[in-house]
Structures are given as structure tokens and as C-alpha cells.
Amino acid sequence: MDIKYFEFSSNALQVQKNKFELWLTILTIILSGASASLLLLPPLGIIPYATFRDIAIIPSVIIIFAIGILSRSKFPRLTNRLFKGMAAGAIASLALEVIRIPGYMFAKWLPMDSMISVPGLFLTEKITMLSEVKQTVMQSGVAMNLYHAPLDAFIAGGLWHFWNGATFGIIYALLIGKGKWWYGIIWAVIIEMVMMVAPYLIIMKGPFGVEHMYGYNIFVITLIAHLAFGAVLGILVQKWKKGSDSILTIGKETD
């Protein structure tokens, strides 16, 4: 009787532990979405870019790292997936840059460095409204490239861009688990589709970038870049992660 009671109590504690890990996982996923939301909420005028930086992006970075570090003893599976997804996402962003940088600097299929320099200008408050970009940069034909950006804007934009890639890696690793490597490509296509209808792009060049060049250029070049991102992300997460569990199987397996 005592043994059965002990086993019941042990199982009950494990269930509670698994539930807490699940809620921490969900919280981490939500916080990981803060970075990409820079392209959704401030462009609509809902909140200023600098305010969003201070109350959403910076706090989310701190809390995500805190969750990863403080969970390493009680929830090593969460820590493992969080940091390996983070690293994989940041590295995969380099693969994206191999396509993106030539896409705007040489081919001009992208009108400017819209993922580092321009966000950096917003984050450092050198410009405050997306309409300013369209009027002073895009309509005037002045290139907004990496080498034109002020140093502080370049650093801020670069940190945001690669952290953004890292958070997509975190979300992927927490949701999917190991998965097949090509799951990363599916995830990248989802990211691409959302980005193509994000207010950030629509205000500047219309949905899917239809107002730029021949109408298909932005979509094609960013799709290729995101496919490269997704392939590298999927391969790295599959290679690095210890457990095959997804968010739906938390509690059934342990890393």
C-alpha cells in the first residue's frame, strides 16, 4: 500500500513538473515572437518602434535567456532545445544572408537593406515612421545599404536581425523537436508567407512586393533566402538535438 501510494505521489509530481515545463515552453515561444513583431505592430502605428524595443524586444531577450539558464537543472530538455534552436537559427541566418545581400547590393531584386539597416534606423530612433523610408529612401532612389548605415544603426539592426533568426530557431526547436530536416523548409515557407503580407512590406512595396521592379522580384529572392535558412535550420536542429519529442509529447520522453 505504501509502495503504491509512493508511486502515485511520484507520478503526480511528474505530471505537475511536465505541466510546468509545458507552460514554460509556451511562454518561451510567445516571447520569441516579440522580435518578429517589430515588422507587424509598429508599422501599423499601434506602438512606436522605440517603445516596442524597450517594452517588448529587450525584456523578451532577457527573459528567454533567464528561462534557458534557470531551467537547466529541473528542465534540461527545455534548456537543450532552447539554446540549440537559438544557435541553429542564428547560424541559419548566415545562409539567408548569402542570398539576401547580393539580392539587394547587386541584383537589386531587393530595393535596399530592409532587414538590417532600416530596422536599425528605427531601433536607434533616426527615423520613426515607415512612411519616411518610402519617401526619403525608396522614392528618391537613394540606396540604403549596409555601408551607408550609421554604425549604431548597423549594430542595432544586425543584432535584431540575427536575434530574429535565432528566435525562429527557438520556436522551431520547441515546436517540432528533431523532426525531418526538411521540416525546416516548411517552417521557412510559413515565415516567408507571413512576411509577404506583413505591414512592414505592404506599406513600402505592397503585398508580396508587387510594386517593386517586375512585381515578383522581392518574393522570389526572399523565398530562396528563406529556403536556405530553413534547410540549414532543419539540418542543424536534427543533428544537435538529443530528444525527438515535440511540444505535443512533452512528458512522454526526456532528453
More confident residue, 55 or 113: 55
The model's pTM: 0.89
In a domain, 170, yes or no: yes
Q: Give the tens place of pLDDT for each residue, 186-245.
A: 999 999 999 999 999 998 899 999 999 999 999 999 999 999 999 999 999 999 876 666
In a domain, 114, yes or no: yes
In a domain, 255, yes or no: no
In a domain, 6, yes or no: yes
- Considering its fold, how many domains does the chain have in total? 1
In a domain, 254, yes or no: no
Say whether pLDDT at 167 is over 60. yes
The strand pairing partners of 250, in sequence order, are: 253
- The fraction of the chain above a pLDDT of 70, given in percent, is 82
In a domain, 190, yes or no: yes
Query: CA distances (Å), 124 to each of 49, 79, 113, 150, in order?
Result: 9, 32, 16, 10
CB 86 within 8 A of CB 170: yes
Alpha-helical regions (H) of the chain? 2-36, 49-52, 58-70, 76-105, 117-123, 130-133, 151-176, 183-196, 199-205, 217-240
Domain that holds residue 175: 2-249
**Alpha carbons 246 and 25: distance in angstroms, whole number:** 11
CB 183 within 8 A of CB 248: no
Residue type, 147: Y
pLDDT of 141 reads 46
